[in-house]
Structure 1
Amino acid sequence: MMKIHVTSVFVDDQARALDFYVGKLGFQLKNDIPVGENRWLTVVSPEQPTGTELLLEPSDHPAVKPYRAAIVADGIPAASFQVDNLADTYDHLTKGGVRFTQDPVDAGDVRMAVLDDTCGNLIQLVEIKDAQTR
């Protein structure tokens, strides 16, 4: 069996990213380990503290800037997070100052919205319709 242990998003500023992902989105800090000029900085869902970690990876590699510019220009999210109630999450985050680039919309079996993480990424939020019956 294989499962995802760590996945990552490239961020322009690790301190700002930590503030956003913990302070705005509600993730919990899992690891903060100095690695040279940067940090091994991971967050997890408070509902799954031993689950998949999200690495807030420094974006200083030369390939990152053009890659991210291209996917952001095309509106492609760098990551997708599932929420139980998109309307409530959207309202809470909007009131907290989070900027959405796409308001909630229906898309087949999901309802989704896209936000700007302030660190160079678009992040998709997804509510699976009828999740209780699956």
Structure 2
Amino acid sequence: MPAIMPHARIATVTLVVDDYDRAIAWYTEKLGFALLADTPLGGGKRWVLVAPSADAGARLLLATADGEDQKNRIGDQTGGRVGFFLETEDFARDHAAFLARGVRFREEPRHESYATVAVFEDLYGNLWDLLEPSI
């Protein structure tokens, strides 16, 4: 079956947060992400985009929770599974840098057939894989 959208890509994923500035600080200071946009939308809402770099491809939209249902999802957007994957070309370098910045890893690095990987949690407890693909 031919691709319906052969040139489409996943560009942005929403991450529900409790506070824009706190989330920006964590992602830029702890993970070294770039702040790509911080645009007021009115009513206290903002369009906040972060990414590992300006040309990294996929970005995170940091969106403050609106209502109790969304507040209850902060830190558990994927039901306790790893929901975000941060690929690197140098696992040892980035793992050491994250540890030095206070990022909390849930495990020691491990070598799998697909990558060197370790699970860490963000400011809210969402789980991420830091991984260096082996292929």
Q: TM-score, normalised by structure 1?
A: 0.80
RMSD value, Cα: 2.3
Larger Rg: 2
Structure 1 residue 70, shift from structure 2 partner: 7.6
Seq. identity, %:
29
Structure 1 residue 8, shift from structure 2 partner: 2.0
| Bigger fraction of residues in helix | 1
Q: TM-score, normalised by structure 2?
A: 0.79
* Alignment: residue pair count: 127
Structure 1 residue 25, shift from structure 2 partner: 0.8
Whole-Å separation in 2 of the counterparts to 1:28 and 1:70: 22
The one-letter code sitting in structure 2 at the alignment partner of 1:54 is L
Structure 1 unaligned regions, length at least 5 = none
- Answer yes or no: is the 8 Å Cα contact 2:34–2:50 preserved in 1: yes
Whole-Å separation in 1 of the counterparts to 2:54 and 2:36: 13
Change (3 A) 1:66 1:21: closer
Structure 2 unaligned regions, length at least 5 = 1-6
Name the counterpart of 2:34.
28
- Answer yes or no: is the 8 Å Cα contact 1:10–1:59 preserved in 2: yes
The one-letter code sitting in structure 1 at the alignment partner of 2:49 is T
